[in-house]
Each structure stands twice: as structure tokens, then as C-alpha cells.
Structure 1
Amino acid sequence: MSQFTTPPPLIEDDIVQLSYPAEHILQIKMNRPKAFNAMNNALNAALEDVLNWFESEPTLWVAVLGSTNAKAWCAGMDLKQVNLGAKTMWTRNGFGGMTQRFTRKPLIGAIRGYVLGGGSEMVMNLDISVAGEGATFGFPEVKRGVVILAGGLERLVKLVGHQRACELALTGRNISPQEAKSLGMINYVVPDDQVDAKALEIAKTIASNSPDSVMATLYGIRITDEAGSARSAHRLFVDSAPIKQVHSGENTIIGVRAFAEKKQPKWVASKL
């Protein structure tokens, strides 16, 4: 792994683990195994710091977000913290530093076990998701007297439509990974022991492409998701700073020249 331009953030109590399984790829694992990665203030702040660092570090191009506990990716908000009267301190980017994030670089979920409440809200804003066959999704907020407020409800409606969103959110029932895939909530369902490998395979494929083009394309997808119409999204995308930077950037020259010479391009870190 090439030298980072900035060091990774300091993480107290090893609550988030970082590794670098391949060039330009960051693997993040939530590490509150006894609490099933229920989101408390410490885990939330650590994820916010790590994701902010990832998006600003030019040597890292793709991230995979997983868990050290095969039984749970994230079991939702830490209700014990709430019950004890602790004030919940969400960050600018929401639950898990994720639910309100306008991702600049691809973030892939490697999901096993329970993915409930805020955990499922995080999944609604991932860029790509790989789930194990034993995963369990769901929005049980109505069963606990709370409401889906971190941003996942609005994205759920966009993904699955009004009536399906009503049925899932108002009953609070569990959702199997097969159903989640059929509804368009996730991309892949694989055996539990293949989740990390599949997510890493996708990350490597993305990291083999121009980081400028990947980031600009993701920006276009995000703009389209947020804009009112396809036409307005297209105008915003075409006139955007990322597109101008791609066209004037070194990786465009590298990619075109490599194609003409029938060689594999050797990309440089993005300046976007």
C-alpha cells in the first residue's frame, strides 16, 4: 500500500478496525461484537471520522464496510444508551456517519447477520451491498415507539415504492436478504462465508478503473438520485466541477493513450 498523504484517524477502544486488503482499497469493520454493533455515540463518531478520512485520502479509491461479528452488521440504535438517558449525538452525515452522506467514492457493504433499524437505514445509502444468506433486514422502529428518522425511510420509498414501504415500515417485520434483493434494496446474496470475498472482488474491479471517472460517475448517480428530474440532473452533472476536472485531468490522457496503445492503463491518484 502506498504511503497515505494523511494518517488514518485515531480510534479509541478499537471500536472500528481498518485494514487494506488490496491496493487503493480500505476495509472498515465495525467492532462492538457483544452489542451486535448497536450504534452508540462512540461508534457513530468513529465511523464519521473514518469515512471522512477515506473520502479525502487520494490513495484510497474504494471502501468496504463490514463487521467483526458474523451475527450482526448493525442491530440499530443502542437503545440501552437511550434508556440510560445519554444524549444521542449524531454527526453531520447522520447515523453511522452514513445515512445522510453524499458519497464521493464507492462504499460497499459486506453484510452478515442482523441489519435492523438504523442498520437498514445505513444500507439504503450504501452504493453497493453484498449480503449473506443469513442476514436479517428490517425497520422495527414502530415496535419500539420510535420513528425512522435517519434518512432511510425516504430512500426506502424511492427504492421499493409507496405500498411496499408502508407494509415494511408499518409492520416492522423482518426482511430476508432474498426479499431485500428482489425489492432492489441490495445487490447480491451469497453464502455467509463468501460475503467479504464478494465485496472485495467488486471493490477490486472498481479500483481497476480510473478513479476520476469513478468519482465523477458516482457524483452523477448521486445528483440524479437527489434532483427533481432526469433533465435537471443531466444539466447539473454535465456542468459540474467533477466533469470539468475529469476532462482536463491526467487520467483521461492516460486512459485514451493506453487504449490506443492496447495497454493496461496505470492510473494516478485523483485530484477531484
Structure 2
Amino acid sequence: MSDELLTHEEDGILVMTINRPEAKNAMTKAASEAIAAALDRLDAEDHLRVGILTGAGGTFCSGMDLKGFLRGESPSVPGRGFGGLTEKKPAKPLIAAVEGYALAGGLELMIACDLVVASVSAKFGIPEAKRGLAAAAGGLMVLPDLIPHKVAMELALTGEFITAQRAYELGMINRITEGSALDGAMELARAINANGPLAVRISKQIMEESRGWPRDKRYEEQAKLLPKVFMSEDAREGSLAFAEKRSPNWKGR
């Protein structure tokens, strides 16, 4: 794996750190491919239950590496999108831990994550128009689904930044931390980890996929996925653990 992405495991959590602090973690093709490989590993290894994506050196990601762009390099992975993430998410939960700036493609990486924990000093924006470019990795399509349309329009057309507090008020991020965003993300990841992994994964799948289901077919489509949860060993274990006043011993099946 490229040294442009560092990974480590802790308590079933895979932490992925974009490691280009000298370039404000601007995204390269090598870093994108490394993120895609790490996300494949997150989904493939049963003992891993939650992923965290963050950046080294006090910045999340400043977007596409413009020097690479001028050389003709694309910081995307076919079928996976920018940063190996924006077009295909992992099946397991992914949290963004944001320090400093999440700009342009960096913001698009962030909103591709399921949950976001940000430092109180973090800043967010899609300033591509200032460089004669467009936020083509989800900023123009996904952001209006997450925040009011007119606010998303203003961000896209002006390229201006917003604060962590404003992002929280808009519902773009989940939690603001006074201290380390990664510490806050680890706390959130552990809260998820305490739950049945199969229930978590299927719940995420339903919440993602149901946005595209016809309204009159939603319960019908959901019913195709729910037996994987309700007929599982974990469903019985969760009920037994509750009755016996103990912590569940999840199997993920």
C-alpha cells in the first residue's frame, strides 16, 4: 500500500490517514488507490466493523492535487470515484474525522462518509469555481441532498467556506469536538461497535438504498433484506443478553 495512506487497527476499527501533510493532503491517484484497497479490506475482514478516514498534519483533505491534474493525472479509481470512495461506499460504516480544511474533493470525500466528526476550528467548502473547475465528485449532486438546496447552490457558485458550527447547524456534520476529531470519531465508532454488526450493516444498506426506492415499494424492498437480521444468530443473542443482563457476544451472523 502507498505511504500516502497510513492504516492501523484498534478495537475492530480501521483508521485510515491520508498522509500528504506537506500538500495539505491533496488527493493523488496513488492515495485514491490506497483508500480503495483499505475500504475493500474493511469490508472483507470480519473483525473490522467500522472505518475512520482522517488526514495527517491538521488537515483532512484540500481536494485534488492540482499539480497532478496539470500532468494529466486523475485522483480517481474506476468504479470507485474520487479518492476511491465517492462513487462506491463500503458496506460497513465509515466516519470522517475532520481537522482543519475539508475543501473541494476533500469535502466530497467527507460527505461520502456515513458520519462526520469535526474539530471546532474546521472549515468546509467547494471552491472549485474559483479555479475554473466544478465539484464533480458529488459536491454538485450529493450536497443538495444533505443541506438546503439554496445553501448548497451558494457554496458551489461562490466557493466560500463555512465553519464547523454552521456545518453542524445545516446537518452536514454529526459532532463538533473541542479536542481531537479523531478521538471524537473513535468514541462514535465504539458506540457503533457495541451493536450487532449485521444489524448495523443492513440498517446502513436500507437507509442508503431506500432513497431510490419508489415510495409505494419501500416496505416491499425492505422486507427482502430484513430476514438477514431477524433470522440471524445475533438477533437471538441480543435478546438473550438483554434477558440475562449481560453484554452480547456478537458473531456477525
Q: How does 1:29-178 map to 2 (within 5 A)?
A: 29-70=17-58, 72-178=59-165
Cα distance in 1, alignment partners of residues 234 and 69 from structure 2: 48
Residue number among 204, 210, 220 corresponding to 1:235 in the alignment:
220
Task: Structure 1 unaligned segments of length 5 or more: list them.
Answer: 1-10
Q: Is the 8 A contact 2:25 2:61 kept in 1?
A: yes
Q: Report SS of the residue matched to 1:73.
A: coil
- What's the CA shift for 1:244? 2.1
Q: Is the 8 A contact 1:99 1:152 kept in 2?
A: no
Q: Which amino acid aligns with 2:47?
A: T
Cα distance in 2, alignment partners of residues 228 and 102 from structure 1: 22
Q: Is the 8 A contact 1:122 1:152 kept in 2?
A: no
Q: Report SS of the residue matched to 2:10.
A: strand
Q: Report SS of the residue matched to 2:203.
A: helix
Does 2:4 align with 1:18?
no
Q: Report SS of the residue matched to 1:27.
A: strand
Alpha-carbon spacing, 1:89–1:211, altered in 2? closer, same or farther (3 Å): closer
Q: Is the 8 A contact 2:75 2:82 kept in 1?
A: no
Report the RMSD for the aligned CA atoms in angstroms.
1.5
- What's the CA shift for 1:99? 1.1
Cα displacement string for residues 94-150 of structure 1 (whole angstroms, at most 9, x for unaligned residues): 111221224311101110011110111111221110011121110001111111111
Q: Report SS of the residue matched to 2:117.
A: strand
Alpha-carbon spacing, 1:153–1:87, altered in 2? closer, same or farther (3 Å): closer
Residue number among 235, 242, 248 corresponding to 1:252 in the alignment:
235
**TM-score when normalising by structure 2:** 0.94
- What's the CA shift for 1:167? 0.9
Q: Report SS of the residue matched to 1:262.
A: coil
Task: Structure 2 unaligned segments of length 5 or more: list them.
Answer: none
Please identify runs of 4+ aligned residues in structure 1 that moved more than 6 A.
none
Does 2:204 align with 1:214?
no
Cα displacement string for residues 154-206 of structure 1 (whole angstroms, at most 9, x for unaligned residues): 11111123211111110010111111111111111112x33111110110111
Greater shift in the superposed pair: 24-33 or 219-228: 219-228
- What's the CA shift for 1:88? 4.9
Q: Report SS of the residue matched to 2:180.
A: helix
Q: Report SS of the residue matched to 1:74.
A: coil
Q: Report SS of the residue matched to 1:258.
A: helix
Q: Which amino acid aligns with 2:83?
A: G
Q: Which amino acid aligns with 2:7?
A: L
**TM-score when normalising by structure 1:** 0.88
- What's the CA shift for 1:55? 1.2
Aligned length: 253
Q: Is the 8 A contact 1:223 1:233 kept in 2?
A: no
Alpha-carbon spacing, 1:87–1:77, altered in 2? closer, same or farther (3 Å): closer
Q: Report SS of the residue matched to 1:28.
A: strand
- What's the CA shift for 1:228? 4.6
Q: Report SS of the residue matched to 2:83.
A: helix
Cα distance in 2, alignment partners of residues 224 and 87 from structure 1: 31
